[in-house]
Structure 1
Amino acid sequence: MAGKVPRYTRSVLLLAVLLAASYFQKGNGDYMTAEVINWRLSDNRDKPCEEIYAVREGETLHSISEKCGDPFIIEENPHINDPDDVFPGLLLKVTPFRNR
């Protein structure tokens, strides 16, 4: 059982992603850009990253990890199967190391 994610945890994570996606959808059915998403999520500009982070053009998991101070970004995002396969608009859970 070690290493397995309980079914309800996966369900809750999926629900959270779907709710986040619906929150970021414009009224006409188009989705907002990563910049708009990050702007909507940020209530305090002093924070390097929010808990939910939208990947921007040209970013990698390594650069996001450094920017946000989260060395465990892959472990916190089980929906990422290949660390090299990130794209603009992908939503990531980010927990800065200093807040752990």
Structure 2
Amino acid sequence: MKSSMGMADSASWYCATALLALILLGSIRESSLADNKPEAAFRGNQLLDRPCDEIYVVGEGETLHTISDKCGDPFIVERNPHIHDPDDVFPGLVIKIISSNTRR
């Protein structure tokens, strides 16, 4: 009985050590990925200054006004007849963008 308890303790320590190693490796990998990109371009996990593609998916907290400013397209409503109410924009809504900005 005593040897099975010792074996269980060893297995527990092995699992705890393996879990700690995985957490540390994940942390190191995440920090090295963040070091390769400019800090100013990120807020949390979202890119703030990402280029606007022709097909744009609305993100959390975005409005047509903020998207228009970011992408340089003042005619979003006119180009997207499926938007009946400009105030009813939600995350996941797909819209067409034709950017007049040259900062891609």
Deviation at 1:98, TM superposition (A): 4.7
Q: Which runs of 4+ in 1 moved over 4 A?
A: none
Task: Compare the two structures and name the one with the higher helix fraction.
Answer: 2
Instruction: Within 5 Å, give how 1:3-42 maps onto structure 2.
Output: none
Q: Which amino acid aligns with 1:78?
A: P
CA contact (8 A) 2:52 2:71 kept: yes
Give the match for residue 82 of structure 1: 85
How many corresponding residue pairs?
54
State TM-score, norm by structure 2.
Answer: 0.48
| AA in 1 matched with 2:75 | F
* Root-mean-square deviation over aligned CA pairs: 1.7
CA radius of gyration, larger in: 2
CA distance in 1, matches of 2:50, 2:88: 26
Q: If the length of structure 1 is used for normalisation, what is the TM-score?
A: 0.50
Aligned CA distance change for structure 1 residues 87 and 68 (closer, same or farther; 3 Å): same
Q: Displacement of 1:90 after TM fit?
A: 0.2
Distance 1:82 1:51, change over 3 A: same
1:95 matched to 2:98: yes
Structure 2 runs not aligned, ≥5 long: 1-48
Q: Quick one: which of 68, 71, 75 aligns to 2:74?
A: 71
Task: Indicate yes or no: 2:73 matched with 1:62.
Answer: no
Q: Percent identity?
A: 69
Match of 2:55 among 52, 55, 64: 52
Give, in whole Å, the separation in 2 of the partners of 1:56 and 1:91: 10
